[in-house]
Amino acid sequence: MITLTHYLVLSGILFSIGLAGVMRRTNLLMLFFSTEILLNAVNVGFVAVSKYYGDLTGQMFAFFIIAVAASEAAVGLGLLILWYKRNGSVDLTSLQMMKG
Amino acid sequence: MEKYVYIALFAPLLSSLFVALFATRPKILFMGILASLLIGASMISSFILLFYVNAHGALHVKMMDWISAGNLEIPFGFVVDQVSVIMMVTVTFVSTIIHVYSIGYMDHDKSFNRFFSYLSAFVFSMLILVMSDNFVGLFIGWEGVGLCSWLLIGFWYHKPSAAWAANEAFIMNRIADLGMLMGLFLIYWQIGSFQYDIVFASIKFLDISIVTTIGIFLFIGAMGKSAQFPLHTWLADAMEGPTPVSALIHAATMVTAGVYLVIRCGDIYSLIPHIGFAIASLGAFVAVFAASMALVNNDLKRIIAYSTLSQLGYMFVAAGLGAYWIALFHLMTHAFFKSLLFLGAGNVMHAMHDELNIKKMGGLYGSMKATAILMSVASVALAGIYPFAGFFSKDMILEVAFNEGAYFLWFALFIGAGMTAFYSFRLVMLVFFGEKEHTKYGIHPHEAQPFVIYALMPLGLLAVIAGFFEHAFRGFVTKLLTNYDIQIAHGTEVLLIAATLGIAISGISFAIYMYSRGGFSKTLENRFCYKLLINQYFIPKLYELYIMKPFGAISNFLWQKIDVKIIDFSVDMVAKILYTSGEKSRKMQSGNLSDMLRWMVVGIVILLAVAIFYRPIV
Is B207 in a helix, a strand, or coil? coil
What fold characterizes domain A4-94? Helix Hairpins (1.10.287)
B221-235 residue pLDDT tens: 999 898 888 888 888
Reported as type and span, the H/E element at residue B283 is: helix B273-296
The answer to whether A22 contacts B590, with C-beta atoms less than 8 Å apart, is no
pTM of the predicted protein model: 0.79
> What mean pLDDT comes out for the span B473-498?
85
The answer to whether B593 contacts A95, with C-beta atoms less than 8 Å apart, is yes
pLDDT of B418 higher than 60: yes
Is B59 in a helix, a strand, or coil? strand
The answer to whether B591 contacts A23, with C-beta atoms less than 8 Å apart, is no
Chain A residues touching B601 at Cβ < 8 A? 19, 22-23
For residue B615, what is the DSSP state? -
Chain A residues touching B589 at Cβ < 8 A? 98-100
The answer to whether B594 contacts A92, with C-beta atoms less than 8 Å apart, is yes
> What mean pLDDT comes out for the span B137-162?
91
B28-53 residue pLDDT tens: 888 889 999 999 999 999 999 999 99
The answer to whether A95 contacts B590, with C-beta atoms less than 8 Å apart, is no
Chain A residues touching B592 at Cβ < 8 A? 92-93, 95-96
The residue in chain A having the minimum alpha-carbon distance to the alpha carbon of residue B594 is A23
Domain layout of chain A by residue ranges? 4-94
The answer to whether A98 contacts B587, with C-beta atoms less than 8 Å apart, is no
Residues B375, B592: Cα–Cα separation, whole Å: 91
CA–CA min distance B571, chain A (Å): 27
Q: Is A73 exposed, middle or buried (0-12, 13-18, 19+ CB in 10 A)?
A: middle
The residue in chain B having the minimum alpha-carbon distance to the alpha carbon of residue A95 is B592
Question: Could you tell me which residue, B70 or B245, shows the higher pLDDT?
Answer: B245
Find out whether B65 and B41 touch, Cβ atoms under 8 Å: no
Question: Could you tell me which residue, B206 or B526, shows the higher pLDDT?
Answer: B206
> What mean pLDDT comes out for the span B83-92?
92
Q: What is the pLDDT of residue A1?
A: 81
Residues B117, B61: Cα–Cα separation, whole Å: 27
Percent of chain B residues topping a pLDDT of 70: 100
Q: Which of B586, B587, B591 lies nearest to residue A98, judging by beta carbons?
A: B591
B257-290 residue pLDDT tens: 999 999 999 888 988 989 999 999 999 999 999 9
B237-253 residue pLDDT tens: 888 889 999 888 888 88
Confidence of residue B452 (pLDDT cuts 50, 70, 90): confident
pLDDT of B606 higher than 90: yes
The answer to whether B588 contacts A22, with C-beta atoms less than 8 Å apart, is no
Q: What is the pLDDT of residue B204?
A: 86
Average pLDDT, chain A: 89
For B420-430, give one letter per residue: b (16+ CB within 10 A) or e. Answer: bbbbbbbbbbb
Is B165 in a helix, a strand, or coil? helix
Phi, psi at B61, each rounded to 5°: -120, 130
* ipTM confidence: 0.82
Chain B residues touching A98 at Cβ < 8 A? 589, 591
Residues B420, B414: Cα–Cα separation, whole Å: 10
> What mean pLDDT comes out for the span B496-503?
89
The answer to whether B589 contacts A98, with C-beta atoms less than 8 Å apart, is yes
Average pLDDT, chain B: 88
Confidence of residue A100 (pLDDT cuts 50, 70, 90): low
Q: State yes or no: cis peptide before B387, omega within 30 of 0.
A: yes
